Amino acid sequence: MSNQPAGLAPALQRIWQRRGAAAWLLLPISLLFGLLAGMRRWLYRNGWLKAARLPVPVLVVGNIFVGGTGKTPLTIWLAQQLHHAGYRPGVLSRGYGAHVDVPRLVTADSLPEEVGDEPLLIASHAGCPMAVGRNRAAAGAALLRAHPEVDLLLLDDGLQHYALARDLEIMLFDGRGAGNGWMLPAGPLREPLSRRRDVTVINGAASAPGVAPDAFRMSLKGDMAVQLAQPGRRIALAELAGQRPAPRIAAAAGIGNPERYFGMLEAAGLRFSRLPLPDHYAFHDNPFAGVDADVILITEKDAVKCRHSEPLRNDPRLWFVPVEAVIDVALADTIVEKLRGFPTDRHPGLPHLQTPAGL
């Protein structure tokens, strides 16, 4: 298998980290992109485009940097912390890569191709109701009808989904920060760095280029590998790194920023060959068939899909590494304090939005 990086090309990432000649050449297109994005925000802000309002507060977790920054672990952490604070949260998602033209509730029996890989991961760890759909407002209405006890909705990866009104916004960065600070395609930003937000979080770094120093810090902890074929078998990464003779290890990641996963494994003392895969890789084929390794470490997000492939779920070489967000509890306190100003039941009943029969 090729070891060429998947997802966003490294050359493009290098362009986005500085204002070099290539970035300057792309800047006129970025200015047009920024103009169109700003016009869209203005139309929603001034009521020319209507945003649906749900009867419970909506908290959005998202990013303006293209690619993965760690939104899924942060969403899981927030759902758990808000539950501990007395809320009964639900989670909404687009369900990227799935066929969800109409809202769908996520259950233990849902398939990745039906609801997406990240929603299955969130639902299994957050322990709260979840719904997916292209129309997030309709998905929220469906979830609230099915679970009227829900009094708060978390919208995963929804900063640019202005069709659903929101009350609080959390913007997440990683160590790449804002890159060169320019919008697509000259830079990595979907929206300008000046875009308002209520809370800023940095994942995996003490500081990041272009990000205010008062941002909350987040890190991802993963110190154990679980065998996919036999989930009862677990091994500490430090123990795996110390085995003699040393096993041949490969690491694969179908996430937005594979290098962050690889860096975590290296920090645990592991040495391995890298197998980056495209984000949301579907595993319709077996990318590990020709891999010469005793152990293949995959992400838990990839394990969600590998479980539904007989050759993959029975491959004893496959082990996944669960990760969890480590964040100062002060972030949860800040969110709870901000939420106190947003009452529920702000409108009598739910909006009349498209929902599937039975929800």
Q: How large is the C-alpha radius of gyration of the chain?
A: 21
- The tens digit of pLDDT for each residue in 37-82 reads 999 999 999 999 999 999 999 999 999 999 888 899 999 999 999 9
Confidence grade of residue 349 (pLDDT, cut at 50, 70, 90): low
Dihedral over Cα of 200, 17, 156, 195: its sign = positive
What are the residues whose beta carbons fall under 8 Å from the beta carbon of 35, sequence distance 6 or more? none
Q: Residue 35: is its pLDDT beyond 50?
A: yes
- Do 191 and 159 form a contact (C-beta atoms < 8 A)? yes
- Do 133 and 359 form a contact (C-beta atoms < 8 A)? no
Q: Residue 4: is its pLDDT beyond 50?
A: no
Instruction: Say what the pLDDT of residue 9 is.
Output: 60
Q: Residue 6: is its pLDDT beyond 50?
A: no
3-class secondary-structure state, position 218:
strand
- The tens digit of pLDDT for each residue in 223-252 reads 999 999 999 999 999 999 999 999 999 999
Confidence grade of residue 353 (pLDDT, cut at 50, 70, 90): very low
pTM of the model: 0.89
Q: Residue 313: is its pLDDT beyond 60?
A: yes
- Token pair 């990866």 is found at 157
Strand runs (DSSP E) across 228-294, as ranges? 234-236, 249-253, 273-276
For residue 9, give the amino acid letter.
A
Instruction: Say what the pLDDT of residue 80 is.
Output: 96
DSSP 65: B
DSSP 195: -
Q: What is the CATH number of domain 50-219+326-339?
A: 3.40.50
Helices 117-126 and 71-84 cross at an angle (nearest 10°) of 30
Beta bridge partners of 164: 52
Confidence grade of residue 109 (pLDDT, cut at 50, 70, 90): confident
DSSP 199: E
Q: For residues 349 and 52, what is the distance between their CA atoms, to the nearest angstrom?
A: 13
Whether the link from the prior residue into 245 is cis, omega within 30° of 0, is yes
Confidence grade of residue 12 (pLDDT, cut at 50, 70, 90): confident
Q: Count H helices, E strands: the chain? A: 11, 15
Q: For residues 126 and 76, what is the distance between their CA atoms, to the nearest angstrom?
A: 5
The phi-psi region of residue 210 (left if phi > 0; otherwise alpha if psi is between -120 and 50; otherwise beta) is: left
Of 142, 128, 67, the C-alpha closest to 100 is 142
| CA distance readout (Å), 109 to 106, 140, 189, 232 | 8, 20, 36, 21
What element of type H or E holds 105? strand 104-105
DSSP 128: S
